[in-house]
């Protein structure tokens, strides 16, 4: 029997696609039928069940006591899916967003990196990400770790994906450290002198040392929150990576100690690098459908990555209340569905 990769395609509930792509509102997916959601993914060929614990919009899909829950039956969506998966002997995956929570960022602006509400890629002319990105060294990490402990104690999932793991945006190698109250104590502890009043007075070397250190500390706290509560739950992190060997990640604890390495793309530069640096205990997962920027996710690359020993991730956005993929994903979805069937045939 050949190796059986993880094949994870999912209808992503973080976002909604109607007249535009937007963060999902609390009610958008609250009335999804768990059985229909489970059946769609199993029929597709996904060999795990994946659903978010908290959406990045700030809504829990389980009965959390540490934040707002989806209305109506929405707070029972994950519990129902968890039960269905366990009854059918299907591994369970879930998700937390590390970098953003649209509810808490409005309640606790003091946790948000100043200026990050206007983040966008330097080479982009698209819209700004106006959500605000949390500082890892702020009180946000306390709340996030408490939510993680609560969740895995209730639902001991097989894997947890932590998304948007960065500093002040989605390009942590370049995103700057900005003076703020939450940074004063850790900056002095890590760098050895007081935090300057202006970002431009923080040297490039200090920026990199500081970001690497606070991200390592956040990683260890999240690792402890999971493993200290449910030792068998495995963890992986999405950045996303923009190029191989970004300075912030070279020999970083997150890269060395996670249970798998995750690329939100199928770009050879990124996936080949992760295959090169992975530790013996680690898996490598590539995303072959999801991001729609040119060159990021190529469903036709699946054979290359299957032969290289990778696992597979994919996502698509629906139009509420229909969770099924928008028509724009039709061709990619068709290719991935067929790929999953071929992988299944080769593993039996």
Are 26 and 68 in contact by the 8 Å Cβ rule? The answer is yes
Judged against a pLDDT cut of 70, whether residue 17 lies above it is answered with yes
Summarize pLDDT for 239-260 with one digit per residue, the tens: 999 999 999 999 999 999 999 9
Q: Of 128 and 179, which is predicted with more confidence?
A: 179
**Sorting pLDDT into bands at 50, 70 and 90, what band is 130?**
confident
In order, the DSSP letters of 290-324 are S--STTT--GGGHHHHHHTT-EEEEEE-EETTEEE
pLDDT of residue 122: 77
Lowest mean pLDDT segment, chosen from 83-92, 121-130, 329-338: 121-130
- Residue 234, classed as helix, strand or coil, is strand
Q: Of 35 and 131, which is predicted with more confidence?
A: 35
Q: Is the pTM of this model over 0.95?
A: yes
Are 163 and 98 in contact by the 8 Å Cβ rule? The answer is yes
pLDDT of residue 127: 67
**Sorting pLDDT into bands at 50, 70 and 90, what band is 306?**
very high
pLDDT of residue 125: 66
**Sorting pLDDT into bands at 50, 70 and 90, what band is 2?**
low
Summarize pLDDT for 293-303 with one digit per residue, the tens: 889 999 999 99
> What is the chain's mean pLDDT, rounded?
96
Q: Which of 69, 248, 223, 229 is nearest to 172 (CA)?
A: 248
Q: Which residues are paired to 316 by β-bridges?
A: 11
Kindly tell me the sign of the dihedral angle through the C-alpha atoms of 193, 198, 203, 209. Answer: positive
In order, the DSSP letters of 86-139 are HHTT--EEEEEESS--TTHHHH-GGGBPTTGGGB--TT--S--B-S--B-TTST
pLDDT of residue 62: 98
Indicate the domain borders of the chain: 1-91+274-348, 98-258
Are 108 and 65 in contact by the 8 Å Cβ rule? The answer is no
Q: How far apart (Å, rounded) are the C-alpha atoms in residues 110 and 102?
A: 14
pLDDT of residue 131: 87
pLDDT of residue 270: 98
């Amino acid at each position: 029997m050949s190796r059986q990769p993880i094949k994870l395609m999912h209808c992503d509930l973080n976002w909604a696609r109607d007249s535009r792509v937007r963060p999902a509102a609390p009610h958008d997916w609250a009335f999804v039928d768990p059985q229909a959601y489970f059946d769609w993914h199993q029929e597709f060929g996904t060999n795990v069940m994946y659903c978010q614990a908290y959406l990045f919009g700030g809504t829990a899909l389980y009965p959390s006591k540490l934040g707002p829950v989806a209305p109506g039956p929405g707070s029972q969506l994950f519990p129902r899916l968890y039960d269905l998966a366990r009854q059918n002997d299907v591994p369970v995956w879930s998700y937390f967003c590390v970098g953003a929570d649209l509810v808490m960022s409005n309640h606790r602006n003091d946790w948000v990196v100043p200026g990050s509400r206007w983040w966008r890629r330097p080479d982009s002319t698209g819209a700004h990400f106006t959500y605000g990105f949390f500082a890892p060294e702020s009180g946000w990490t306390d709340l996030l770790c408490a939510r993680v402990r609560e969740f895995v104690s209730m639902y001991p999932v097989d894997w947890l994906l932590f998304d948007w793991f960065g500093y002040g945006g989605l390009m942590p190698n370049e995103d700057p450290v900005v003076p703020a109250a939450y940074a004063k104590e850790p900056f002095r502890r890590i760098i050895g002198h007081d935090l300057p009043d202006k970002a431009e007075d923080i040297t490039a070397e200090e920026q990199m040392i500081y970001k690497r250190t606070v991200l390592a500390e956040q990683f260890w706290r999240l690792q402890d929150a999971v493993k200290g509560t449910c030792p068998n739950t495995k963890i992986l992190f999405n950045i996303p990576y923009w190029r191989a060997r970004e300075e912030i990640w070279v020999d970083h604890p997150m890269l060395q100690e996670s249970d798998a390495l995750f690329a939100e793309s199928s770009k050879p530069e990124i996936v080949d690098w992760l295959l090169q640096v992975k530790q013996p205990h680690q898996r490598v997962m590539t995303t072959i459908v999801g991001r729609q920027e040119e060159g990021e996710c190529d469903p036709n690359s699946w054979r290359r990555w299957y032969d290289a020993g990778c696992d597979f991730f994919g996502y698509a956005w629906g139009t509420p209340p229909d969770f099924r993929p928008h028509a724009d994903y039709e061709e990619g979805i068709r290719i991935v569905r067929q790929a999953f069937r071929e992988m299944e045939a080769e593993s039996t």
